[in-house]
Amino acid sequence: MTKSVNWAQRDSDAVQHPSEYADGDKVLLVRGEGARLWDADGREYIDVHAGAWLTQVGHGRVELATVAAEQMAKLAHFTIAWDFANLPTIELAERLIARAPANIGKARFMSSGSEADDEALQLARLYHYRRGQPERRKILVHRSAFHGRTYAGAELAGGRPGIGGVTPDIIQLTPVRPYHRELYGNEDLTTFCVRELEEAIAEHGAEHIAAMFGELIVGPGGVISPPDDYWPRMTAVLKRHGILFVADEVVTAFGRAGAWFSSSEFGLEPDIIVLGKGIASGYMPIAALLLDRDVAGTVAGTDGGGSFAGHLVAAAVAAASIDIIERENLIENGRARGRQFIEELAPLASSPLIGEIRGRGPLIALELVTDKTTRHSLIAKNPALTGQIRRYARQQHGIILGVHGGAITLAPPLVITAEQVSKVSRAVADIVAYINRVANSPQL
């Protein structure tokens, strides 16, 4: 077992962590198997965060290590620009297209979901430019959306403090929050949002709008599914006005939300689908764009993807991960475990702190509120709870979970067992009791 007495100091001296909590001790993870992880002290954890919502096939897959090693021994990487191609990239593209909506004709590759969102923004504007409509530059997004960590991601989020504010090219729409009926004046959510979309298009002019970016199911914002008619009605309006639709499935694809692609579940044919995270189950950094045939033809020849686009080892591992998901029927297992979570967590709905328990496939959230009448966020009132909840879950129960968008979030590897789900559900019940104690503490 790998262990170093001074690893914490070395880490502190050399590594700047994202989303760091000043009062939190680091955990040195050294091994994983299935939905379990072990730290350097030998403590075992159940992983319901899947690394970063991406370890679909579970940890410690020796067969994926073998695929990587064999490909490295033959050829690790060579560019797919200019006159060059390779079989792993071809085979991965074929697998993706075969499982995607019927309009998808081509795949482009890059190294991360953030990078893919950035390239999707470039291609959406380039598409109209090449069709003789360079004035189509504006982008429709949801307020508080998340589309990656690049500067384009900040732009698509409507700006981030210290990085940039809302640009004139970004048009923000009301987010999808079925639990928060107050956002829609108690009107039907979809009807409200479709009318708002039509009004925004009329105000800005369809001739100035390139695309709409949408998280089909909100991920980091709190695991929120829209009504079933939401995306079909919204995309019908976009299509009528010649506005591209970019479906951000960085989180939702490859079984994370219970299907290969949520686009197919909603009956959509997006112009561009953005993929990342679970495409290789986290075993290699890789992402992709799936392009509608017309879009692909229009933007053909465009540079992009970076030096690592079409990386042979990453592509080989991603294709093997997809094969595992299919061969072991992991999407159905994920759906079953998601249903189990919803059933076992249901009694917590009576807690005054739980506004809503929701999920899509094995992606679950428990929204924390100050009270059920106002539906105000408990986390927004007490931001320190984010780190406290994660640490309590880990230290008291050996559970690694998330807190996103004001909710406790569970996103386990698709291989998680029924027994492990029950253990996590029991732990979450105690965690909610802990939150109740801490939230009502005068020291907070």
pLDDT in tens, 91-119: 999 999 999 999 999 999 999 999 999 99
Residue type, 434: Y
The percentage of residues in the chain with a pLDDT greater than 70, rounded to a whole number, is: 97
Report the distance separating Cα 435 and Cα 389, nearest Å. Answer: 7
C-beta separation of 286 from 318 below 8 A: yes
Average pLDDT, the chain: 95
Q: 148: burial class by Cβ within 10 Å (0-12, 13-18, 19+)? A: buried
Q: State the average pLDDT over residues 79-86.
A: 95
Distance CA 310, CA 403 (A): 33
Element (H, E) at 417: none
Bigger pLDDT: 316 vs 7: 316
* pLDDT tens-place string over residues 352-377: 999 999 999 999 999 999 999 999 99
What's residue 1's pLDDT?
43
pLDDT, position 25:
78
Spatial contact of 306 and 150, defined as CB atoms under 8 Å apart: no
pTM comes to: 0.96
Average pLDDT of the residues in 405-416: 98
Phi, psi values for residue 288, rounded to 5°: -155, 160
Provide the pairing of β-strand 244-248 with 209-215: parallel
| Strand arrangement of the beta sheet that strand 170-173 belongs to | 104-110, 287-292, 272-275, 244-248, 209-215, 138-142, 170-173
- Tell me how far the alpha carbon of residue 4 is from its chain's centroid: 34
Sign of the CA dihedral 415, 418, 420, 424? Answer: positive
List the beta bridge partners of residue 367: 356, 407
Burial class (CB in 10 A: 0-12, 13-18, 19+), 92: buried
Over pLDDT 90: what percentage of the chain? Answer: 88
Confidence of residue 186 (pLDDT cuts 50, 70, 90): confident
Residue ranges of alpha helices (H) inside 102-147 are 113-130
- pLDDT one-digit tens code per residue, 199-219: 999 999 999 999 999 999 999
Cα 444 from Cα 441, distance rounded (Å): 6
